[in-house]
Amino acid sequence: MADIKKTEEAGEPEVRVNIAGNQPVLYTDSVFITAGKFGVVLDFAQTMGATNQQNVVARIGMSKEHALALMNILEKKLKETFGVKSEKN
Protein backbone atom coordinates (compact mmCIF):
# COMPACT_ATOMS: atom_id res chain seq x y z
CA MET A 1 0.00 0.00 0.00
CA ALA A 2 1.28 3.47 -0.84
CA ASP A 3 1.68 6.29 1.64
CA ILE A 4 -0.13 9.45 0.63
CA LYS A 5 1.24 12.76 1.78
CA LYS A 6 -0.92 15.85 1.53
CA THR A 7 0.78 19.18 1.09
CA GLU A 8 -0.63 22.66 0.94
CA GLU A 9 1.30 25.90 0.74
CA ALA A 10 -0.26 29.31 1.25
CA GLY A 11 -2.44 30.08 -1.75
CA GLU A 12 -1.73 26.72 -3.41
CA PRO A 13 -4.21 23.87 -3.81
CA GLU A 14 -3.62 20.61 -1.93
CA VAL A 15 -1.34 18.15 -3.71
CA ARG A 16 -1.54 14.39 -3.12
CA VAL A 17 1.85 12.68 -3.29
CA ASN A 18 1.78 8.89 -3.65
CA ILE A 19 4.78 7.00 -2.25
CA ALA A 20 5.01 3.30 -3.05
CA GLY A 21 5.41 1.05 0.00
CA ASN A 22 8.68 -0.34 -1.37
CA GLN A 23 10.17 3.08 -2.23
CA PRO A 24 13.54 3.24 -0.43
CA VAL A 25 14.81 6.27 1.43
CA LEU A 26 18.32 6.96 0.16
CA TYR A 27 20.64 8.34 2.85
CA THR A 28 23.07 11.08 1.91
CA ASP A 29 25.76 12.81 3.92
CA SER A 30 26.99 15.08 1.15
CA VAL A 31 25.75 16.87 -1.93
CA PHE A 32 27.63 18.21 -4.93
CA ILE A 33 25.96 21.04 -6.84
CA THR A 34 26.63 21.95 -10.45
CA ALA A 35 24.88 25.02 -11.83
CA GLY A 36 24.70 26.35 -15.35
CA LYS A 37 22.88 29.10 -17.16
CA PHE A 38 19.61 27.18 -17.37
CA GLY A 39 19.63 24.67 -14.54
CA VAL A 40 21.11 22.91 -11.55
CA VAL A 41 22.18 19.31 -10.94
CA LEU A 42 22.34 17.96 -7.38
CA ASP A 43 24.46 14.83 -6.87
CA PHE A 44 23.57 13.28 -3.50
CA ALA A 45 26.29 10.98 -2.16
CA GLN A 46 27.36 8.80 0.74
CA THR A 47 30.83 8.61 2.25
CA MET A 48 32.37 5.17 1.62
CA GLY A 49 33.54 4.03 5.05
CA ALA A 50 36.81 5.41 6.34
CA THR A 51 37.89 6.61 2.91
CA ASN A 52 37.68 9.92 1.09
CA GLN A 53 35.50 8.33 -1.61
CA GLN A 54 31.90 9.31 -2.26
CA ASN A 55 29.24 7.07 -3.84
CA VAL A 56 26.52 9.04 -5.66
CA VAL A 57 23.12 7.54 -4.72
CA ALA A 58 20.89 9.97 -6.64
CA ARG A 59 21.21 12.69 -9.28
CA ILE A 60 18.49 15.32 -9.53
CA GLY A 61 18.36 17.97 -12.23
CA MET A 62 16.04 20.97 -12.26
CA SER A 63 15.53 24.40 -13.75
CA LYS A 64 17.03 27.40 -12.00
CA GLU A 65 13.49 28.55 -11.11
CA HIS A 66 12.76 25.19 -9.50
CA ALA A 67 16.08 25.30 -7.62
CA LEU A 68 15.22 28.75 -6.21
CA ALA A 69 11.78 27.49 -5.13
CA LEU A 70 13.43 24.44 -3.51
CA MET A 71 15.88 26.69 -1.65
CA ASN A 72 13.05 28.85 -0.29
CA ILE A 73 10.82 25.98 0.83
CA LEU A 74 13.77 24.11 2.37
CA GLU A 75 14.75 27.20 4.35
CA LYS A 76 11.15 27.64 5.52
CA LYS A 77 10.80 23.98 6.53
CA LEU A 78 14.11 23.96 8.41
CA LYS A 79 13.12 27.08 10.33
CA GLU A 80 9.73 25.55 11.23
CA THR A 81 11.20 22.21 12.25
CA PHE A 82 14.51 23.05 13.89
CA GLY A 83 14.39 26.78 14.54
CA VAL A 84 17.33 27.26 12.17
CA LYS A 85 18.19 30.90 11.56
CA SER A 86 18.99 31.96 8.02
CA GLU A 87 21.99 34.10 7.16
CA LYS A 88 19.50 36.82 6.16
CA ASN A 89 18.43 37.35 9.80
pLDDT in tens, 67-76: 999 999 999 9
User: Does the pTM of the predicted model rise above 0.75?
Assistant: no
* Number of folded domains that form the chain: 1
Domain assignment present for residue 13? The answer is no
Its sign, for the CA torsion 52, 55, 61, 65, is negative
Compute the distance between CA of residue 11 and CA of residue 18 in angstroms, rounded to an integer: 22
Domain assignment present for residue 19? The answer is no
Give the up-direction half-sphere exposure of residue 52: CA atoms within 13 A in the CB hemisphere.
0
pLDDT band at 1, cuts 50/70/90?
very low
Domain assignment present for residue 34? The answer is yes
Percent of the chain with pLDDT over 90: 65
Run of H or E residues at 77: helix 64-82
31-63 pLDDT, tens digit each: 999 999 999 999 999 999 999 999 999 999 999
Q: Which domain holds residue 43?
A: 25-82
DSSP conformation class of 53 = -
